[in-house]
Structure 1
Amino acid sequence: MKLLTTAALLAATASAKSLRVPPILLQEPIPNDPTQHNADHHIPTIRESTIMARRIMHLSSLGTLVTTFTHLSNPQSILTSDNDADEVHTYENRPEEMAGSPIGLMEYYADCEPATGNPTLLAINIATPYRNYAAGSNISLQIRWWPTQSNSYDLSTSAFPNPEMSEYDHNDDEDEDIPTPHTPAALPRFSLHGRLEPIPVKDLAVNLIPACFMRAHPDSLLWQPGNDIHTSEYMRFVVEHIYWFGGFGDRARIGWLPVEDWRSITREEVEAMSLPGEKGWRERGDRESKRVGKGAR
């Protein structure tokens, strides 16, 4: 059943005042045949999608670290503190059948080495993701985008008095460049896959890593390296593969992005790009004129 029909059925069972539906759900799917596309239609290129991912990583500071429980009988082998090892024995009590099962947990990160595209983590050795990784697990970091603008729309006759007009035509001058929001299912997210490596003391100083990280996460002051509670250290997540999910497949790119592009994105490209919910974003329309970077393809 088409999206418009579904929306009509929903509208028939709820008042226009109480039902809030993102405008994207009221649009007809864009045809797969490029010859049927509106002249303004533009799916972001690989380069543009990569820049969008780098901008999301720059603006966000929370992700989900995904690792896998391994067969681990001696936590002392991966923990540098006797207190940490004792605490694992006392409190974890992990069922044996969990070995091989993945787990995803929220984690702080910061974009403190933008020239490399490698996010910075403050690893607490006792934390599950880092114990799993030290025991041989693969690791990935999932990051999503959610704009700060309004996140719902009234589906009412007053909201769209003329059915021939789009939601963009009804924005006032101040907000005309912010055609948001979307359902979370239509917003971009991505998964970084790679490895962890300790950040050398020299790099910590040159790149002002602690100051950068605490600017994004002031509360992390409590578990900075050298704290009296747990062993911690700054780690860089070395990106080796990127899986991008830009949104609905009829209007966004979905798939793997080249790591070479990821590493070559410049700060100027990141700053020039706009995301859904940011001023300047257009899902359709003049995206073609806003291509960023010489590598667009």
Structure 2
Amino acid sequence: MMLQATLAFVVIYAALQFAFLLPFVSADEHNPKQAAPLARQLVSLSKIGELATVMAPGVRAGREHYPFSTPEYISDECPSSGSPLLYLVTWGTHARNARASPHASVSFRHPNFTLTPPDSRGELDEARVSLLGDLVKVEGEDEIKNAQECFFARHPDAKEFPHHSAFYRLEVQDVRWIGGFGDRHFNGWIPAELYLSKPEGPALQMQGNGLTRRGKKLRID
């Protein structure tokens, strides 16, 4: 009798847990249109991105055309355009690569969460996005001033960089979205025109000083 009662409790508890999770599962993205606002907001909220450029001849012997990537400060433009700004040391590897070939990508991942949701299946079930495009140097007095105001508001310490640096904008040509595991997330390409069109949707929402997605709270530093 006791065993039957215990089994009944376990079944009812599991059913309630599943019902509780349904709203979060149903809110996930399933196509490019639903993923586009997620991608835009993830880029807008991020302060660090993984910049990848193509190794130029003369930068490192025998490594021409290899991919080269490092984490870099980034900032969305002001107002948000979805095209990230970067502040690169002019004699650094990325800037030298960009002068030979502008092709580049910047990748972002969902920020570290401080409260694990009940449906979490690990970090690889969290969103990440890669923007593919061309690195274009920001030029013109007004353009540079706007970039400075926007970027330094996000990264005040960048004003004190000891080396000569220049602003670059990644002009987005394509977007690759990985929402998480494919059984309940969209994983695929988002057309650049859809990503850049200021898509609207529930997607990521700020609550207080945190970011929520499927019921988890994330720290945005």
Q: TM-score over 0.5 for the alignment?
A: yes
TM bin, normalised by shorter chain, reads 0.7 to 0.9
Quick one: distance in 1 between partners of 2:198 and 2:83? 12
Secondary structure of the structure 2 residue equivalent to 1:239: strand
- Which of 210, 217, 240 is the equivalent residue of 2:148? 210
- Percentage of pairs with the same residue: 26
- Alignment pair present for 1:106 and 2:71: yes
The whole-number CA distance in structure 2 between the counterparts of 1:275 and 1:147 is 15
| CA separation of 1:198 and 1:280: change in aligned 2, threshold 3 A | closer
- Match of 1:53? 39
Partner of 1:233: 166
Structure-to-structure mapping, 1:83-122, within 5 angstroms: 94=60, 96-122=61-87
Structure 1: distance between partners of 2:148 and 2:121 = 35
- 5+ residue gaps in structure 2? 1-17, 217-221
Change over 3 Å in CA distance of 1:278–1:116 after alignment to 2: closer
Q: Is the 8 A contact 1:214 1:220 kept in 2?
A: yes
Structure of larger gyration radius = 1
Show the counterpart of 2:52.
66
- Counterpart CA distance in 1 for 2:27 and 2:163 is 50
* Whole-Å separation in 1 of the counterparts to 2:109 and 2:84: 14
Deviation of the 1:53 alpha carbon: 0.7
**How far off its partner does 1:258 sit?**
1.2
Q: Which runs of 5+ in 1 are unaligned?
A: 1-26, 28-36, 76-93, 154-166, 168-178, 224-228, 284-297
Alpha-carbon RMSD: 3.0
One of 172, 177, 190 as aligned partner of 1:244: 177
Q: Alpha-carbon deviations, 1:191-223, whole Å to 9, x = none?
A: 111112222322344xx4323212221210113
Q: Match of 1:20?
A: none
Q: Which of residues 90, 103, 116 is equivalent to 1:125?
A: 90
Matched, 1:273 2:211: no
Kindly state the Cα deviation for residue 48 of structure 1 after the two structures are TM-superposed.
2.0
* Alpha-carbon shift at residue 230 of structure 1 (Å): 3.1
Distance 1:121 1:98 in 2: 24
**1 CA distance for matches of 2:81 and 2:35?**
17
Residue aligned with 2:75, SS? coil
Whether the 8 Å CA contact 1:51–1:262 is kept in 2: the answer is yes
The count of corresponding residues between Structure 1 and Structure 2 is 190
The TM-score normalised by the length of structure 2 is 0.74
Alpha-carbon distance, 1:137 to partner = 5.8
CA distance in 1 between counterparts of 2:85 and 2:65 reads 26
Conservation of the 8 A alpha-carbon contact between 1:247 and 1:254? yes
2:101 to 136, 144, 161: 136
In the alignment, is residue 186 of structure 1 matched against residue 95 of structure 2?
Answer: no
Three-state SS of the structure 1 residue aligned to 2:166 is strand
TM-score normalized by the length of structure 1:
0.56
Letter in 1 for 2:34: E
Is the 8 Å Cα contact of residues 146 and 184 (structure 1) preserved in structure 2? no
CA contact (8 A) 2:102 2:134 kept: no
